Amino acid sequence: MTAPSRLGSRGKSAASPRPSEGAGSKLATTVSRHIVTDVIERGWPVGAVLGSESELIERYGVSRAVFREAVRLVENQQVARMRRGPGGGLVVTEPTVDAIIDAAVLYLHRVGATLDEVFEARLVLEEIVTELATLRLDEAGVTKLRALVEDEASGEVKDHRALHAMLASITGNPALELFVDILNRVPLLYFRDRSAFAPTTLSASQHAHARIAAAVTAGDGGLARHRMRKHLQAEADFLRSRRWSHQLLPDTVSLGGASTNKRAEDVARAIIRNVIVDDLPVGYLLGSEGELIDRHGVSRAVFREAVRLLEHHRIAAMRRGPGGGMFVTAPSADAVTDVVAVFLARRGMQVADLADLRMRLELVLIELAARRIDAEGAERLSQALEREKHPTDIEFADAANDLHGVIAALSGNRALELVALVLIRLTRLHQIDRLSDAVRRKVADEVPRTHQGIAAAIIEGDGELARHRLRRHLEVLAKYLR
C-alpha cells in the first residue's frame, strides 16, 4: 500500500498534460488508481468492503468532494461501488465484459474510425492470434478446434465469430480475446441483420476456417497466418461491397458502467446519436440544462444521471454559470483505456503476455508510422521527445511511455491505437509503485536516448531500423517489468 502523503505530491507533479481538468479531478484520478491497484493486489475480492467513506477519506488524505469524484471513476470502471447504510462502504464489484466492449465500440464510433481501420486492426491482431495459437495449442485445444469445424460444416454453429474467438482463447492472452471480440462486433453494426450474409459467403468462410484450423493443428504458423489473412481480406471485401450506411450508433450499444437508470441511458443515447450523426463540432452548445430537460421530458435527477454517462464517455459535459449549458467535448481515449485496462487486469493478464503482445503490436505500429510519417507527425514526435527531457514535470510512467502513444497515433489507425493505449496503461498498472528507485533512475536515464533513436528512424521513413531499435528497447523494458 502507498502512504497517503504521496498522493498530494503526485497530484501536483502530474500538472501538465490535461489543462481542461481541474486539480481536484486529477487528484480524484490518482485516488481512483490507487483504489484499483489495491483491489488488484488483494486478488479482486468481489463483495468485500474496502472501507467506509470516512475511513477511506482519511486513508487517502483527500476532501470528501475529491473522494466522491474518485468513487464515480471506480464505479464507471466497475471496480467498486459505494453501498449506503449500515455495514456499507466501498464494495468490490465484478466488471462485465459487455460494458467494456460497448465502451470501446462507442469510442471507435465517436472518433469516426472507418471500417477500413477496423479491418486493418483485425488483420494485425488475428495474425498475431493465429501465430500464438499455433505455438500454444495443446491436446484439448485440438479436440475443441476439430469439434467446432465439424459443427460449422454440419450447420450447427452459424456464428462465424466462434472460430476466431476460440483461436483467441487458445492463445491464453485476455487482451487478444477481448480485442478480437470487439473488432469482430464492429463490422456487424453496419448491417441491418445477419441475412446480409449470403449462403455462399458462409460456406466459403466455413471452408477457410477448416483450413486455418488444419494449419494451426499441424503447427505451421506461417501457413496459418497466410490463410487467416486471405480469409479476413475476403470477408472485408465482401463487407465493403455490402456496406449500407455510414457510422450509425446502434440501439444495442449499452452505455452501461455505473448506470442503472434506463431513462437516463435513453437520454444519453439520444444525445450521443445527435453528436455523432450530425457530426457536431467540439465546443458546440447542445442547450442549457432547462432546455434539455424539457426537450427530453425527464426529471432533473434523471437528466443529471445522463450527464454523468455523457461525461464519462467524453461525449459532452455541463458547464455551470452564465453562458453555461451542455457542450460537445473532444473525444478522449483516457476513459475507455482505463476501463479496458482495468478489466484485463481483472482477467489476470500476465506480465509476460503483456510484454509479448506489446512487442508484436508495436512492431507493426512503428512500421505503419514510418510509412505514413509526414511533417506534422515528425513535429509530434519531436514534441514528445521534448516533454521527456523534463521528467520532473510529469509522472515517471508517462515519461517512459509517452513516445509509444504518439507512435500508436501516427500509425493512422484509431482501432490499433486504442489497443496500444490499453496495453501501455496496463504496463503502468504493473509499474507504478513496483519499481525500485534505482531502476526508475536507470530507465529515466536510458529512455530519452533510446527514444530519440527510434523517432529519428521513423522520421527518416526507415521502418526496418525503427523496428530494430524498438525491439531492443522493449526487450530491455520487459526485463525491468518482471
Contact 82, 144 (CB under 8 A): no
21-43: burial string, b at 16+ Cβ within 10 Å, e else: eeeebbbbbbbbbbbbbbbbeee
Site for Zn ion, residues 182 to 211, rule: CB under 5 A: 205
Smallest gap, in angstroms, from Cβ of residue 232 to Zn ion?
7
122 touching Zn ion, by CB under 5 A? no
Smallest gap, in angstroms, from Cβ of residue 450 to Zn ion?
7
- Residue whose CB is less far from Zn ion, 49 or 234: 234
Sequence letter at residue 292: L
Smallest gap, in angstroms, from Cβ of residue 430 to Zn ion?
15
- Residue whose CB is less far from Zn ion, 221 or 287: 221
- Residue whose CB is less far from Zn ion, 229 or 273: 229
Smallest gap, in angstroms, from Cβ of residue 392 to Zn ion?
18
C-alpha cell at 77: 470502471
Smallest gap, in angstroms, from Cβ of residue 53 to Zn ion?
39
Smallest gap, in angstroms, from Cβ of residue 234 to Zn ion?
9
Site for Zn ion, residues 362 to 421, rule: CB under 5 A: none
- Residue whose CB is less far from Zn ion, 160 or 225: 160
- Residue whose CB is less far from Zn ion, 40 or 165: 165
- Residue whose CB is less far from Zn ion, 82 or 148: 148
DSSP per-residue letters across 448-459: HHHHHHHHHHHH
- Residue whose CB is less far from Zn ion, 5 or 241: 241
Contact 346, 95 (CB under 8 A): yes
Which residue number places its CB atom closest to Zn ion? 160
CA–CA separation, 3 and 36 (whole Å):
15
Contact 186, 105 (CB under 8 A): yes
C-alpha cell at 377: 507527425
Smallest gap, in angstroms, from Cβ of residue 171 to Zn ion?
16
Smallest gap, in angstroms, from Cβ of residue 259 to Zn ion?
34
Residues whose CB falls within 8 Å of the CB of residue 354, separated by 6 or more in sequence, listed in order? 175, 423, 426, 427, 430, 481
DSSP per-residue letters across 183-220: HHHTGGGG-S-GGGS-HHHHHHHHHHHHHHHHHHHHT-
Smallest gap, in angstroms, from Cβ of residue 388 to Zn ion?
9
Residues whose CB falls within 8 Å of the CB of residue 236, separated by 6 or more in sequence, listed in order? 119, 122, 123
Site for Zn ion, residues 142 to 171, rule: CB under 5 A: 160
DSSP per-residue letters across 249-281: --TT----TT---HHHHHHHHHHHHHHHHTTPP
Indicate the burial class of 107 (C-beta count within 10 angstroms; 0-12, 13-18, 19 or more): buried
Query: Any idea how long the chain is?
Result: 482
H-type helices in 14-60, by residue range? 23-41, 53-60
Smallest gap, in angstroms, from Cβ of residue 205 to Zn ion?
5
- Residue whose CB is less far from Zn ion, 289 or 393: 393
Paired sense of beta strands 285-287 and 316-319, if any: unpaired
Q: In 3D, which of 470, 455, 382 has the Cα closest to residue 420?
A: 470
- Residue whose CB is less far from Zn ion, 134 or 205: 205
Q: In 3D, which of 362, 478, 352 has the Cα closest to residue 417?
A: 362
Smallest gap, in angstroms, from Cβ of residue 194 to Zn ion?
14
- Residue whose CB is less far from Zn ion, 53 or 356: 356
How many chain residues touch Zn ion (CB under 5 A)?
Answer: 2
- Residue whose CB is less far from Zn ion, 227 or 296: 227
Residues forming contacts to Zn ion in the complex (CB under 5 A) are: 160, 205
